[in-house]
Amino acid sequence: MPNRINRAIELLEQDQAIYYTGGHSGHSLSYAQGCEDAHVWADYINVGMEHGAFDMAGLAEYMRGLVEGGPARSGHRTPTVIVEAPVNGTDAANVRFNAWQFRQILGRGVHGVLLCQAESASWIMFCWLGRVAALWP
């Protein structure tokens, strides 16, 4: 029985490397693809929306397919899913202006969001500590 909501966290807690599958320019976001990906070999699935379509209806269907096609090989409800957000993470203002995208992505049930073009160590630490939620309207 899994201890955490996803395998990636469990492996990172054990100082293990994690491996992913999925492109950086989009992913087939359909129910059928979710069912197929439910038993993927990788520790997490990358869904590239930075250079792909911002498709929330497709993401919802994909996540539904992962759930109904699961559980994952590790015993978790689904494989870990991380979405590359189409947000410029260069500074607080850009992230603040685009926070609605994080809410939309996370609202579909994914496990995490990858902030692309994060250029400041202090800003990354700020986000990592969970304080970004205080910036959302």
> Of all residues in the chain, what percent carry a pLDDT higher than 90?
52
Count CA atoms within 13 Å of residue 44 on its CB side.
24
| Mean pLDDT on 103-121 | 85
**In the chain, domain spans:** 7-135
Q: Which residues of 9-38 are buried (b: 16+ CB within 10 A; e: fewer)?
A: bbbeeeeeeeeeebeeebbebebebbbebb
**Starting at the edge strand that comes first in sequence, how are the strands of the sheet with 20-21 ordered?**
20-21, 44-48, 80-85, 112-115
Residue spans of alpha helices (H) in 14-135: 31-37, 56-69, 92-97, 99-106, 121-128
- Which H helix or E strand runs over 9? helix 7-13
Residue-level length of the chain: 137
Q: Which two tokens stand for residue 35?
A: 């069912």
Across the chain, what does the average pLDDT equal? 85
pLDDT (tens digit, 9 = 90+) per residue, 1-59?
678 888 888 998 899 999 999 988 778 999 999 999 999 999 999 999 988 899 999 99
First-to-last alpha carbon distance for the chain, in angstroms, is 38
pTM: 0.85
